[in-house]
Structure 1
Amino acid sequence: MRTDFKFSNLCGTVYKQGNLIFTPDGYSVISPVGNRVTVFDLKNNKSETLPFENDKNITHIGLTPNGNLLLSIDEDGKAVLVNFRRRAELHRFNFKKSVTALSFSPNGKFFVVAVGKQIEIWRTPGFTREFAPFILHRKYSGHYDDITHISWSSDSRFFLTSSKDMTTKIYSTDPIDGFSPNTLSGHRDAVVGAWFSDDMKTLYTVSKDGAVCIRKYRKKHVAEDLVFGEFPKTESGDRFVKTIWFTEQRQYFGMPGVRVQCAQFHSKAQLLIAGFSNGTFGIWEMPEFNQIHSLSISQNKINAAVINASGEWLAFGSAKLGQLLVWEWQSESYILKQQGHYHDVSCVAYSGDGQYIATGGDDGKVKIWNSSSGYCFVTFSDHTSSVTDLTFTKGNQVVVSASMDGTVRAYDLMRYRNFRTFMSPNPVQFSSVAVDPSGEVVCAGSQDTFEIFLWSMQTGKYLDMLSGHEGPISRLVFRPDGLSIASSSWDHTVRLWDVFDRTRVVERLEHTAEVLAVSYRPDGKEVASSTLDGQILFWDVAKASQTGTVEGRRDISGGRKSGDKQTAENSTSGKSFSSLAYSADGTTIIGGGNSKYVCLYDVKSKILVRKFQISHNQSLDGIKEILNSRNMTEAGAIDQFDSDNDASDFESRQDMALPGVRSGDLSKRKVKKEVRTRGVKFAPTGRQWAAATTEGLMLYSLDDTFIFDPFELDEDVTPKTIRELMKRKSEYLRALVNSLRLNENYLIREVYQTIPPTSVALLAKQFPLKYLERFLRFIASLMDHSQLIELNMCWITALLSNHGTHIKANTAKFQPVLRSLQKVTTSVHNELGSLCDDNVYTLGYIINRCKRNNDQTNGDTSELILTSAPFLEGIKDDSMEVDSGDDDNDGMEE
């Protein structure tokens, strides 16, 4: 089995902190999620997390106007420069101090960063890897407090800086004769933002108390002594006249007791957007200051707001709830509405076809994600306490979850509702849940009474109770054939129960420490368990005997907490695996626990194959291997102190988390989350695995593009000889087999599309069995982006019909590829179904028109086609674009 899994996407978290930006085309929004950056494609309905990581949580991101370069800056002022189009990291740079604002110039030549009170202008780097791509152009100072916002003029000659010192300053990019920096005052609170109008004749400033100043300038008269500054106004000969900026109007948002958290101005549309601390936002038309829209979108304050280039879509981010919203204000509809788990993701489960992923969180919510797009499309909030475990039923239409609130709930994914609620005779806290392969019996293990409860899925009635454990039950899992169930417990045992025959003796598998997880191999002949001392034990189910052990304590250990005074090797808090999962073919097993590592082991040899570090985010606790003793004081670690003074406002310090609290807790505590993995699961296709971590739901998958991996290759197998075989009609099979041996994707596809559909049945009957699994995997990958639906289905049907016996005899080998085929055919079926639903009336009209024309022409099909052609042009065909990427299709698109 291939083990070169790479990080592919981050779900479960859509926004953490910092600013949001739109791409130049306005169809994608870029959001910082921890120390990573996620791109939400609103046009194609997909999300993608970029492969690079900052050292700490990202606070500011910036994109060049042409969309080529992305700059992300973390809490310590360390920046990463990325080629955004190629997703390649180019350079890393350190600004030495925390950065409070970032903005690129409209012409893309410069970018300005605010490092505390200082302003630094840098030349925009190139698109290649350089030794020193960052070149400092100019440095300014003059503010007395931290800068909060930077904006540019339309001609890129000037920029505005807003500060907490209640002033706004005008600076020039290059020295201009007769111009000096201009200071604009008049606000009574910190200035949130300041912007030029498109013609640069008006200036708008917004402060945190809700005041909006509309400023204009006029020429300075000789008799006037008071000059606020100088602003250039081009006259004949490029001379500049001295001017005075004055406040023409002072407006207020009119929300008493509500603070302005963020603001954005669209110069071309003359729209001012403001987000408030009560979770509402408003749109005002400037300079008349007419409110044209207002909406409450969150229960907490809005931390970021941005508007796209066309002025139609608004993006908002709320850090406390982790919300990301894109709103089209003209039609008053949501373009995107995503929210991650409020607390950590506690458990994860894959559907049978690998198309959906279910997650449960400590916030009591169950979310269903699409593994391909990375979007959450349904959220269930019926639980009142943290969700501890969940699983899919065999038909992929029901999700069953267990919670600490004493209920086990079943959710219907067709109607999106909770249709069954299972409860024990006496209130208990459920720690695990399992459903038999038929979907008829639901089992849940309790944490306080140490018992296993059984219910009927059809009737919802309580069936039975299995007792015998002497400690909390940590995990339940059904055997793949459904004959027995395995339960792990803190009483140092794993027990194998026969649910349908209570006369049989319960097998006890004794351990030397508390058992944290248990998992069945896909063939049901072996079971693996992990213990608190960091071991993974393998057991033969038939003989109930131990067959092997993995000493994984040193493999998973690593990382020190900020308050630790011992090294990681001498730490008393041991590391262990709290979750285990076999791969689809049963050759490898993956484990994760209270560590930053996830370990992948080979089952046969019991050795470590790969070790994945799920995060390098130093904002989390337990990431660093070596701690600096200078950061340790008598009062504790410096990292745990609140020294940024951000919560200077009364409402920012108020903690209203407890129910019934009116005044709130006025202290602000800074707590670093500890990095850990709560759950790991392999996808049924074997091409992906997921980990429920502190950062969110992290997906690791194999590279979809085929690499050069030849199979039984000799000197005669070359692209030239393969193309020569293609020209002979009787040598199609040899050409196809040789292309599979060479394993070059473009060549396999060239041969595949050359074979006529009439020859598929005969070739499939004679197809060699040793290449069957490889060929089926190729067809599954091809169906994701190819429109040759009929040809693909002909091959799949012919291969499964002729070689079904061989596939059934080697189920473990073919199960991953069969899951992939099921996933992709389901996706194609859903796309075609939605397309037909959209055009059902048009198709019905065409069919009736064709029948009438056929009756009139008495079967003359040429006139029938010509008559119906104009109506075919109106059919929606956005999802059925012709695959014209290759020149060797040979007319197979039809």
Structure 2
Amino acid sequence: MAVASTSSAPLYKTPAASSFRFSNLCGTVYKQGNVAFTPDGNSVISPVGNRVSVFDLVTNKSRTLAFENRKNIARIALSPDANVLISVDEDGRAVLVNFKRSTVLHHFNFKKPVRDIKFSPDGKFIAATHGSKVQVWQTPSHLAREFAPFVLHREYTGHYDDVLSITWSADSRFFLTTSKDMTARLYTLYPVEGYRPRTFAGHRDAVLAAYFSEDHKTIYTVARDGAVFTWARKEDEDEDEDDSEDEERLPLGAGPLASTSTGPDNTIAHTRWGIQQRHYFMRVGTRVVSTTWHAASNLLIVGFSDGVFGLWEMPSFTNVHTLSVSQEKITSVAVNPTGEWLAFGASKLGQLLVWEWQSESYILKQQGHYFDMNTLSFSADGQQVATGGDDGKVKIWNATSGFCFVTFEDHASAVTAVDFAKQGQVVFSASLDGTVRAFDLIRYRNFRTFTTPAPVQFNSLAVDPSGEIVCAGGTGDGFEIYMWSTQTGKLIDILAGHEGPVSALAFSPLGDRLVSASWDKSIRVWDTYGRSTAVEPFPLKADALALAFRPDGKEVAVSTLDGQISLWNVVDGVQRTLIEGRKDISGGRKVDDRVTAANNSSGKAFNSLSYTADGSCLLAGGNSKHVCLYDARDGVLLRRFQISQNLSLDGTQEFLDSRNLTESGPRELIDDRGELSDLEDRVDKSLPGARGGDLSRRKYRPEARTKSVRFSPTGRSWAAASTEGLLIYSLDDSITFDPFELDVDITPATILETLNEERHYLKAFVMALRLNERPLIQTVYESIPPSAISLLARQLPVTYLEPVLRFLGTQLEKSPHIEFHLVWVSALFAAHGKHLRLHSTQHAATFRGLQKGLTDVQESIVKLSDENSFSLEFILDQQRTRQLADEAEERQALGMTDGAATEPNGVNGFAGRRMAIDL
């Protein structure tokens, strides 16, 4: 037995292991903070923990930007030109990002929590709240690197409590602020001689927001108690005379505001504002939580604490639309520039909704798991991901778009395992409610429910490769494994022998063996179709937590409670390799830990394992912030992935800050709920012991950990069900520059010269593959004439075969030149079929990607053909109907009866009469 100790072995990285990068975050669509629309109105930007996700509403895709904040994001703001994004976390630490490239430009600390931050409409300034003050900073350049990019323009004072919101005027010369001191104030960006900031007082609760009308002659203030005040110019004649004298006596002589015209800037600066109207929402027992304003259509959008939102047209205060969209309060609301789409975020439920109020329809409706995500599984084509959570829901996600398209709520308790059938559109799930359910992904229904004679809490699941048998195990009286027939739903066998709960099950890829792992420190190999019932257990040193079959079915990996991973040859019953992984997975210190992260390895074990498609690497995750990738042959650690750097989670930092320690313990564990402003937030509705972890505390911090890891069947990505959601790491990154055998002479200019002037298609194609820039490869690829494809495929070196096939797989998904791609595929397989067959294991991931592209093309063609046939049938039916109508009109004009019209070829028949008329 060989023992591989990764703590002392030298670390090395293979190209595949080192190339996995964070690609997307699914399963979480909104956590807290504010949502925002892009300037074109086609995308919604939403904070998801310490990351930012962008949901494209036109192409129906989502992407998560690569950067991370230190803690959960509290506010985000996007510049008017959509070039710069600034995100601020709970502590006031900001990250300035190039939005289009997802590149971090600068870090900055506001040194206080920021409640609101806004770019000026011209994009030159950033206004941010700073306690009871407002700071205005000059916007840093997103093109040039600077040592001190943030330059303070001015700090504004006047409020007596925390400032809650900031609203700029359209000309970027004035801004309104609202505060908890129940007032709003009007400031100027540049000093105006004789001007003192106007104060708008009269509310009886905190003012949440203030807005300018489109002509800037009216100001609206919205308070938390549901009062809306309309402020306008006072109509008193004496005051008008005083105002005119003031305008003559106080010229605007400060910088850009120096003007003798009576434009909006002069009007705003010297208007004597007064309350014109008072309006109230009159919703008893609810408060205004969020609000926004669309100036072009004079619409005020308000979200309430009971999940209802409404639209009011100002200044008449006419209720245009009201709808209940959530069961909890709407914490954020935004409107796109055209005023058609409204975006809502509910932090408690993690909901993100986009509503088109004119047509009264949802553009986007997404919600993650309410509690932790426990398990995940990839479909056979890698296009769908099924997840199960503590909320008892099974969600199916599209791996390409990142959206959930169906949710099953049939389980009554936490879902512990999910698995796709290898054939057909079926997903199975096991739950603590004692049932195993099968869901049809074509009709979206639960068509089978598998139960046991005695109550059992299932925590493991396995499906036969043929999809005919489903097995489940868990905690029951006899610790048995139950087998059902998928076709009939009947229990066909009960496998007994384990002396502890069955923690994991797995079928071999051939379906002839079933391996079970248990807490009784053993794994057992069962002959599924054999007559012999004798099963010899393989002993382990500790409780077994997870297992995974190698794709060839000859080896199984088992993780145990002591942090080890043992690799067993199931044919000979011999342990081949032992991986000491406790030191690899250890890391991250909890707030209440008494020892350092380096010495705290208790409880650090892998609870999920997954092999790569070729069986060369093994992915392992557990109760830690790290996911480890091992070489399956030598047992050497190739790379450790840190799933999160969010300091709002427990177990993400190696060293604790002593400044956060108080006499009452760590500051993060002190319950400060009583300081919240809303009563419903202060009330503690939780019961002692109602959450996982320390049962003596009412407040808890989520812990960074991974409950399940899985490799995609294509081998191009892997996913982890973590505390923050479904993390997807992929090899496909169009921004990354990854050349292949690059030479000095290979440049875009030389490639285009070879292509256009010399007409050497093969040489240009190989040079583009070596430079490995996707747009350039596509340019050369589409310039090759179809008649030369067969010759180029035969002359293509074998080294470039896999990149070309991978490129064709992506082109089949995106490009419309279907026949051109199919000719290339056919020519490559005809020329290099023998080589590909001999090295099929190495190219397995590429084949799956190519098969996926071909399947998508097939489905598209079938769908298009059906639509065309339906259209043709409709057109022909319409033509026949029109002909019959014309004939009926003609018969009526000739005064003929139906009987005469139906006489075949008679003198009195319709055909003869019509012939005579034609003649």
With structure 2 as the length reference, what TM-score do the two structures score? 0.86
Query: How do residues 609-624 of structure 1 correspond to structure 2 at under 5 angstroms?
Result: 609-624=638-653
Q: Does 1:266 align with 2:266?
A: no
- 1:445-474 CA distance string (max 9 Å, x none): 122342110001111111111111111111
The one-letter code matched in structure 2 to 1:341 is H
The partner residue of 2:78 within 63, 67, 83 is: 63
Matches within 5 A, 1:28-107: 28-107=43-122
* 1:130 and 2:125 are equivalent in the alignment: no
Distance 1:739 1:466, change over 3 A: same
Aligned equivalent of 1:366, options 383, 394, 404: 394
Deviates more, 1:799-808 or 1:91-100: 799-808
- Which one of the candidate residues 639, 663, 673 is aligned to 2:702? 673
2:540 to 511, 515, 518: 511
Is the contact between residue 307 and residue 314 of structure 1 (CA under 8 Å) also seen in structure 2?
yes
Displacement of 1:783 in angstroms is 2.4
Q: Aligned to 1:2, what secondary structure does the other structure show?
A: helix
User: Is the counterpart of residue 256 in structure 1 residue 272 in structure 2?
Assistant: no
1:306/1:316 contact within 8 Å kept: yes
| Residue 389 (structure 1) aligned with residue 403 (structure 2) | no
Q: Residues 189-232 of structure 1: CA distance to partner in whole angstroms, max 9, x if unpaired?
A: 111111111111111111111111111122676689999xx999
Kept after mapping to 2: 8 A contact 1:101/1:114: yes
Q: CA deviation at 1:797?
A: 3.8
Change in Cα spacing, 1:704 to 1:650, as seen in structure 2 (3 Å) is: closer
Higher Cα radius of gyration: 2
* 1:185 corresponds to 2:201: yes
Aligned to 1:858: none
Of 834-843 and 707-716, more deviation after overlay is shown by 707-716
Distance 1:58 1:745, change over 3 A: closer
- Among 654, 662, 665, the alignment partner of 1:636 is 665
Tell me the SS of whatever aligns to 2:493: strand
1:491-510, aligned counterparts within 5 Å?
Answer: 491-503=520-532, 505-510=534-539
Kindly provide the CA deviation profile for residues 222-259 of structure 1, in whole angstroms up to 9, marking residues without a partner as x: 689999xx999999666788543221111111211111
* Pick aligned residue for 1:216 from 203, 224, 232: 232
Give the letter for the 2:197 counterpart.
Answer: P
Q: Does 1:312 align with 2:340?
A: yes
Measure how far apart 1:734 and its partner are.
Answer: 8.0
CA distance in 2, matches of 1:218, 1:718: 67
1:78/1:751 CA distance change after superposition, 3 Å: closer
2:228 aligned partner, one-letter code: V
Where does the alignment leave 5 or more consecutive residues of structure 1 unmatched?
A: 662-666, 852-894
Q: Structure 2 CA distance, aligned partners of 1:717 and 1:116?
A: 54
Deviations 1:17-50 (A, max 9, x none): 0011110000001000000000001111110100
CA separation in 2, counterparts of 1:16 and 1:389?
A: 25
Q: Show the counterpart of 2:371.
A: 343
Structure 2: distance between partners of 1:614 and 1:364? 24
Instruction: Tell me the equivalent position of 1:525.
Output: 554
Give the equivalent residue in structure 1 for 2:570: 541
- Residue 246 (structure 2) pairs with residue 246 (structure 1): no
Tell me what 2:902 maps to: none
Q: 2:475 matched to 1:447?
A: yes
Change beyond 3 A, Cα 1:604–1:151: same
Listed one character per residue, the Cα deviations across residues 658-699 of structure 1 (whole Å, up to 9, x for unaligned) are 89x9xxxxx995321000000000011111000000000000
In structure 2, the residue matched to 1:2 is: 16
From the superposition, tell whether residues 123 and 458 of structure 1 become closer, same or farther in structure 2 (CA, over 3 Å). same
Report the 3-state secondary structure (helix = DSSP H, G, I; strand = E; otherwise coil) of the residue aligned with 1:652.
helix
2:191 pairs with 1:162: no
User: For residues 670 and 173 of structure 1, do their structure 2 counterparts lie closer, same or farther at Cα, with a shift above 3 Å needed?
Assistant: farther
Q: Partner letter of residue 794 of structure 1? A: V
Residue pairs, 1:799-878, within 5 angstroms: 799-800=828-829, 807-833=836-862, 835=864, 842=871
2:124 & 2:742 partners in 1: Cα distance?
A: 54
Instruction: Return closer, same or farther for 1:631/1:290 CA change in 2, 3 Å cut-off.
Output: same
1:12 Cα deviation from its structure 2 partner: 0.3
SS at match of 1:819: helix
Cα shift readout 1:607-650 (whole Å, capped 9, x = no counterpart)? 11111100000000001110123423443311111347552332
1:836 CA drift (Å)? 5.2
Aligned partners of 1:15 and 1:33 also within 8 Å: yes
In 2, Cα distance between equivalents of 1:39 and 1:424: 45
What secondary structure is seen at the aligned counterpart in 2 of 1:7?
strand
Cα deviations across residues 514-543 of structure 1 (Å, max 9, x unaligned)?
Answer: 111100111111111111111111111211
Q: Is the 8 A contact 1:726 1:751 kept in 2?
A: no
More deviation in 316-325 or 210-219? 210-219
Structure 1 residues 326 and 735 mapped into 2: Cα distance closer, same or farther (>3 Å)? closer
RMSD over equivalenced CA pairs, Å: 3.3
Displacement of 1:410 after TM fit?
A: 0.6
Residue 371 of structure 1, CA deviation = 0.8
In structure 2, distance between residues paired with 1:736 and 1:724: 9
| Deviation string, structure 1 residues 249-273 (Cα, Å, up to 9, x no partner) | 1111121111111011111110000
Instruction: List alignment gaps of at least 5 residues for structure 2.
Output: 1-14, 253-258, 691-695, 881-919
**1:781-800 counterparts in 2 under 5 A?**
781-800=810-829
Q: Does the CA contact (< 8 Å) of 1:220 and 1:243 recur in 2?
A: no
| Native 8 Å contact 2:381 2:713 kept in 1 | yes
Q: For 1:653, which of 661, 671, 682 is the aligned residue?
A: 682
Moved more, 439-448 or 780-789: 780-789
From 142, 156, 170, give the equivalent of 2:158. Answer: 142
SS in 2 for 1:783: helix
Asked if the contact 1:23–1:29 (Cα under 8 Å) also holds between the matched residues in 2, the reply is: yes
**Alignment-derived partner of residue 116 in structure 1:** 131
Aligned to 2:886: none
Check 1:290–1:658 CA distance in 2 against 1; reply closer, same or farther (3 A cut): farther
Question: What's 2:315 paired with?
Answer: 287
In structure 1, the residue matched to 2:807 is 778
Distance 1:708 1:136, change over 3 A: closer
Contact 1:589 1:601 survives alignment (8 Å): yes
Which of 6-15 and 797-806 deviates more?
797-806
Match of 2:587 among 558, 581, 596: 558
Do structure 1's residue 376 and structure 2's residue 389 form an aligned pair? Answer: no
Q: Note the C-alpha offset of 1:88.
A: 1.1
State the 1:573 CA deviation: 2.9
CA distance in 2, matches of 1:757, 1:357: 38
Tell me the equivalent position of 1:300: 328
Q: Which residue of 2 aligns with 1:692?
A: 721
Matched with 1:484 is 513
Cα 1:224–1:45 shift into 2, 3 Å = closer
- Indicate the larger mover: 291-300 or 752-761: 752-761
> Tell me, what secondary structure is at the counterpart of 2:843?
helix
How far the C-alpha of 1:791 sits from its partner, in A, is 1.8
Q: How far does residue 735 in structure 1 lie from its aligned partner after superposition?
A: 7.5
Q: TM-score, normalised by structure 1?
A: 0.88
* 2: CA distance, partners of 1:778 / 1:526: 33
Partner amino acid for 2:608?
A: S
Q: Is the 8 A contact 1:213 1:247 kept in 2?
A: yes
SS at match of 1:148: strand
Instruction: Tell me the number of residue pairs that the alignment of Structure 1 and Structure 2 aligns.
Output: 842
Secondary structure of the structure 2 residue equivalent to 1:813: coil
